[in-house]
Structure 1
Amino acid sequence: MPQERELTPRAVLTGLILGAVLTPCNVYAGLKIGWSFNMSIIALLFGVAFWRPLAARGHVPGWTPKESNISQTTASSAASIISGGLVAPIPAYLLITGRPLAMGPMMAWVFAVSFLGVWVAWYLRPLLIERGQLRFPAGVATLETLTDIFAHGREALRRIAVLAGAALISAITKAVDAFVMTLPKWAPGAWFGHYTLALEPSLLLLGFGGIIGLRVGLSLLAGAVLAWGLLGPALVARGLVTVPPDPAASLFGPLVEWLLWPGVSLMVAASLTSFLWQIVSALRTRGDGSRPRMRPALARPLAGPLLGLLAASAMTVALQMALFDISLPMALVAIPFAVLLATVAARVVGDTGIPPIGAIGKVSQLGFGVMAPGQAVTNLMTANVAGGAAGQCADLLNDLRTGHGLGASPTRQVLAQCVGVLTGSVVGVVVYLALIPDPAMLLTEQWPAPAVATWKAVAEALSAGLGAVPVEARAAMALGALAGLAIGLAEHLLPPQQRRWLPSPVALGLAFVIPGSVSIMMCLGAVLVAIVTRLRPTLAERFAVAASAGLIAGESLMGVAAAVVSMAR
């Protein structure tokens, strides 16, 4: 029986092209709302939609499931490159130091920390997928979608048609806003617009709302009302923020400098509480009475992967020293620290499907805040090593779980991942610099960049202590931390029936550092999908994700194109 085609040139090239197209979507969305989208299923749909009709007409050999897997592995690794720091620690470094980072060094840095994560994932694969048999929900979802598509070919074309139609509508809307006329926000009164509580003409936000779910959407709305509807006016009334002279001007800029402190405290406390709880749970005795096999991650030192891990480590250490003047001891410590935290993150992803990259970053920042006190740059960029490695490690393990279900070759998937990382590093940096040619554009209503605000705030607080926090915000910061701790514990202690009524602490905190209009639109998207799911559950299951992804892709790609045109002018 002939072997099924897998790592073919067309599979890699398809993944490379799709990765180059999808990476800008995550960079754009990350700078807008601080979140990104797993592109595995979208890349899978596009690959099948292109090659299967050609194969049906006899123009090319049949497109195989394993080729699909290689293609989506390449594309998803490129799109997940933002975990390498493009929308968080790197912009935070630029804002803190004022020192620009050239395109070439930025590409090398993003590639190095992501490349490190690839080899950590390689050594974790036998432990977590083959012997540990963790579920890896995102990988299983991709596997189920792939199996369903190859069993029912027409379904893939229908989903692609919905995705393409939504993307076209979203792109046209953004093009009108960028090139024809500025589409206005709508608010029931000037007061609401003053405090950013308005409807924003962004279909991308509706798309993200459709993906995040009703609980997160309502939590965003509650956080927006609390931050921008209650706290904001109170701060203005007490004279704690400087109000611009123009009464029609937005108060986002003055208020976010105060509101980010309680918001960041809430997110960090909740994330760390949940993160530590999951570590403790993983170390406890399993329900069947057996204990998890705590074998070391580096259990199979094969020559090729070991050379890859050593090369990635050496590259990361050298770049820390050359680009950021980090001392050799701190640069060396960052490597085992990153491996350790990426291992923990991989375990969390395998159990829950949620990559705790934000929590990993905060743990790293806290750790290096103790080891290198008062050094904001060391704090940021050593933590970037852990975050970047954990992000790519989680992405590859999900893809390897898909491949495991297909009987695919892990070695070939790792090679595809490396191609994707290289593609994402180049495309991601080019897109970032096109969107944000001046770091002063960040932390504004146009580019809220909430992840940048979070990393910057934590680095400043750890290096300058409470002196970095406005005096009046310190009590709010403590309250935010207590609220995050309480919700984080409740998420694990309450029974499932009661847990679903808890707000999402990350969404609550995020609403403090993005305009209220963003939270409102995302909540609206979540509500719309929830209504469709209630009335037509089968229709929502088949097309909700595809339509939402199309809205995200259309606006983000057109937004990047508009930025490039603006630079050319």
Structure 2
Amino acid sequence: MERSPSRPSSEVETMADHKEEQREDNMKGEEAFRNTTVFPWRKQITVRSIVTSFVLNIVFNFIVCKLNLTTGVIPSLNVAAGLLGFAMVKSYTALLIKCGLLKQPFTRQENTVIQTCVVASSGIAFSSGTASYILGMSPYIAAQSDGGNTPINTKTLSLGWMFGFLFSVSFAGLFSIVPLRKIMILKYKLTYPSGTATAHLINSFHTPKGAKLAKKQVAVLFKSFCFSFVFAFFQWFFAAGDDCGFVSFPTFGLQAYKQKFYFDFSSTYVGVGMICPYMVNISLLIGAVVSWGIMWPLIETKKGIWYAANLSNSSLHGLQGYKVFISIAMILGDGLYHVVYMLIHTGISLVKQYSKNKDSSSVNPSNAVENSDNSQIVDYDEQRRTEYFLKDQIPTWVAAAGYVVLAIISIISVSHIFPQLKWYHIMVAYVIAPLLAFCNSYGCGLTDWSLASSYGKIAILIFSGWVGLGNGGVIAGLASCGVMMSIVSTASDLMQDFKTGYLTLASPRSMFFSQVFGTAMGCLMSPLVFWFFYKAYTLGDPQGSYPAPYGPMYRGISLLGVEGASSLPRHCLNLAIIFFCAAIAINILREVLEQMKTKHKIHRFIPSPMCMAIPFYLGGYFTIDMCIGSFILFVLEKRNKQKARDYVPAIASGLICGESLWGVPAAVLALAGVNAPICMKFVSSSVNDKVDAFLNGGL
């Protein structure tokens, strides 16, 4: 009897797997992971997760350090951290599966641990202040200003005290906010947009459809990484001296080049521009046009009238003073507005939450029964997430004791590292910091804004004025900024991670310890990476490759605190007040238009004063790069919006990683004294004629 043809068993299995994948993709929330094992918190922190985190920490520290030393504009790297963590572990677990050596599958909780550890480390790379308040203490930055350049107001940089300072101030913030995690996440149900988005990303990676997309994203990221790295290597051959190479290409003409308007072929900032919102890049461009296109050329005509004509280009009593202090005024105005706004917003929200909880206690039970059918799926997600979130408690007494012990250690060590900052100054900072950490964490949960740098700048003004110039107020203000920023920044970062862990069923203990590991890695890696650049290049030179704009700016804020308006050049105070008020007015205008809810959402087109202020000091060259990134994003979105949403973060991350990592071999070559073989330089035709005449005459 002839048998009817049947499908091969492998094909039947493939079809069954496909149906199972479709069924899982159609599930929502925790339903898709109903049959997935959630390991205890000790098994969520694995050796492979720590090793993977350490490797990625090195990469991300180089990226953040380079961005800090060039323009200070740092995009969110959460997506890149989650994607690269998934790709790395998946690659070698696939190999272990083939060899039959895999003991524990790769879970979304472990993915969350890696992402948390990496972001914590890169967060320390920012809050450590190696390119801002710590660099501002150096004699080189102090020499650029005529005020406060005394031994007691400078500190020679060294790895020893930087390690000690970071390890003593970076952990207390973690303990300051732990007791409030249940209130923030479960009671107030704060959104924490970045934490929520990261959780959804990680959850999607661990579904069949998400895993396939992640593999495609990794392939795209690798291609853009290779292009960026190779192109940066190619550019190096033409940069044998100052103002040589593609970075000095006068794209819009030599006159525009003198006013800092040119495209410098930086893949890093094209990638950053693709990640940043359109309005951020447009704000940067507006700031560049207002400052370098209008203001600085006009003020330069007043040389010899408003300021002495024989001052160096870096003197804060000349044109450089207008650039620094007007940008500081805008940054302070924007920061002050957001601090006040966040405090008011937090207060109103807390009052509403209190009223809501009070009213809910008197609700008729029949209403809850009536709505139960509509919220069954949501209830399942919440019940499952709440169960795991409350499973591994971190006792409040442990958090309180940890904060007190770390504060005492910090008071002793910081006052020893910085004798200008007395023990009672640091104690006051640690008394105030938990309140500010709560405000920052709560506001971050509502709006995704972290105002750590704003609180740090306020601390500079308060403590530098308190100590005084003669007693080392400049150093005291900068050091107090580090104490305040570290506490406030790590607290909001941890709460973001708690939200991510809540949505991925990662244990709060695994989140806390991964944050501790990441913070420790950051305290170790951040100074080392900074020192690598510090020894290879001249950091803080306004005309150099690494101008480190926030170094002079933070020192300028500290000088403002100890000297007041006397340190400013003529009419600079008036202009600073105007731009300080303008920054507040622009923010108020945007808020009013947003509340009006106009038809065309006009508030979206109001520029950001903080972003406008950055090119005031640096110029418009990097804004051109970022606007090109926005243009590429715009074109891709017009062609296919969904594909752009899926692949643009991967493309941008590859561009950022590739060129940033070329900085490592470039720095090694610079330390070894190896120079590029070619100098490609651009001059006007008249200068070219003179050069030709000189060369012909010499021959």
Provide the TM-score with structure 2 as the length reference: 0.76
Once the two structures are overlaid, the 10-residue window that deviates more, 197-206 or 485-494, is 485-494
On the 8 A contact 2:272/2:652 being kept in 1, the answer is yes
Is the partner of 2:605 in helix, strand or coil? coil
Closer/same/farther in 2, CA of residues 180 and 311 from structure 1, 3 Å limit? farther
Query: Which residue number corresponds to residue 336 of structure 2?
Result: 272
Q: Pairwise mapping of residues 134-533 of structure 1 onto structure 2 (< 5 A)? A: 134-151=190-207, 152=209, 153-179=211-237, 181=239, 182-183=245-246, 184-239=248-303, 255-284=319-348, 290-291=354-355, 302-325=396-419, 326-369=421-464, 371-374=466-469, 375-437=473-535, 441-445=539-543, 446-495=545-594, 496=597, 497-533=601-637
More displaced 10-residue stretch of structure 1: 300-309 or 461-470: 300-309
Cα 1:318–1:454 change in 2 (3 A) is: same
1:554 is aligned, of 637, 658, 664, to 658
Quickly say closer, same or farther: Cα 1:302–1:289, change in 2 above 3 A. closer
Partner deviation per Cα, 1:255-295 (whole Å, 9 max, x = no partner): 443212111111210121122112112112569674599xx
Per the TM alignment, residue 126 of structure 1 is displaced from its structure 2 partner at its CA by 2.2
The offset of 1:2, in angstroms, is 5.8
Distance in 1 between the 2:664 and 2:433 partners?
Answer: 32
Contact persistence 1:142–1:402 (CA under 8 A): yes
**Residue 438 (structure 1) shift:** 8.7
Letter in 2 for 1:140: T
Partner of residue 162, structure 2: 106
Is contact 1:360–1:386 with CA below 8 Å preserved after alignment? Answer: yes
Q: Name stretches of at least 5 consecutive residues in structure 2 with no aligned partner.
A: 1-35, 143-152, 240-244, 358-392, 674-699
In the TM superposition, what whole-angstrom CA distance separates every residue of 1:80-117 from its partner, at most 9, and x where no partner exists? Answer: 11212222111112234442132022022123222122
Displacement, 1:56? 4.1
SS in 1 for 2:506: coil
- Counterpart-to-counterpart distance in 2, 1:499 and 1:149: 35
1:337 Cα deviation from its structure 2 partner:
2.3
Deviation per residue, 1:482-530 (Å, 9 max, x gap): 1111012223222252211211111111120222211222222123213
Contact 2:541 2:548 in 1 (8 A): yes
Distance 1:388 1:552, change over 3 A: same
Match of 1:68 in 2: 111
**Aligned match for 1:45, one of 42, 66, 83:** 83
Q: CA deviation at 1:440?
A: 5.9
Amino acid at match of 1:321: S
Give the C-alpha shift of residue 219 in structure 1: 0.9
Residue matched to 1:123: 179
1:323-361 deviations in Å (ceiling 9; x for gaps)? 111111102111122222222111121111121122121
C-alpha spacing 1:85/1:251, structure 2 compared with 1 (3 Å)? closer
CA distance in 2, matches of 1:439, 1:430: 14
- Measured against aligned partners, the alpha-carbon deviations of 1:527-568 in whole angstroms (never above 9, x if no partner) come to 321332233211211011121121111111211331233124
**How far apart are 1:303 and its partner, in Å?**
4.7
Of residues 128, 135, 149, the one that matches 1:91 is 135
User: Per the alignment, do residues 351 and 245 of structure 1 end up closer, same or farther by CA in structure 2, a change over 3 Å counting?
Assistant: closer
For 1:296, the equivalent position in structure 2 comes to: none
Which stretch has the larger CA shift, 426-435 or 308-317? 308-317
Distance 1:224 1:489, change over 3 A: same
RMSD: 2.8
1:11 and 1:22 map into 2 onto residues whose CA distance is: 16
Identify if the C-alpha distance between structure 1 residues 25 and 74 changes in structure 2 by more than 3 Å, giving closer, same or farther. same
Contact 2:346/2:439, CA 8 A, preserved across alignment = no
Max radius of gyration: which structure? 2
Query: Structure 1 residues 243, 52: CA separation in 2 closer, same or farther (over 3 Å shift)?
Result: farther
Letter in 1 for 2:399: P
Paired letter, 1:79: S
1:426 deviates by 1.5
Taking a change above 3 Å as real, the CA distance of residues 62 and 360 of structure 1, as seen in their structure-2 partners, is: same
Return the offset for 1:319.
2.6
Indicate the SS of the match to 2:606.
Answer: coil
Runs of at least 5 residues in structure 1 that lack an aligned partner in the other structure: 294-298
Contact 1:52/1:62 (CA < 8 Å) preserved in 2? no
Give distance in 1, aligned partners of 2:157 and 2:45. Answer: 36
Structure 1 residue 119 displacement after superposition: 1.6
Is 1:26 aligned to 2:64, yes or no?
yes
- Count of aligned pairs between the two proteins: 563
Contact 2:65–2:529 (CA under 8 A) maintained in structure 1: yes
- Amino acid in the other structure paired with 1:120: S
The AA in structure 1 aligned to 2:637 is: T
CA contact (8 A) 2:314 2:542 kept: no
Q: CA deviation at 1:8?
A: 1.3
Does 1:563 pair with 2:650? no
Shift in alpha-carbon separation, 1:256–1:177, aligned structure 2, 3 A? farther
The residue type paired with residue 156 of structure 1 is A
TM-score scaled to structure 1, two decimals?
A: 0.92
- C-alpha separation between the residues in 2 aligned to 1:146 and 1:357? 27
| CA-CA distance at 1:436 after TM superposition | 2.1
Deviation, 1:313, is: 1.3
Could you give the per-residue CA deviations for residues 57-91 of structure 1, whole angstroms, max 9, x where no partner exists? 51424211111111111111111112122221111
Tell me the distance in 1 between the aligned counterparts of 2:475 and 2:154: 12
Residue type matched to 1:23 in 2? N
Q: Give the letter for the 1:128 counterpart.
A: M
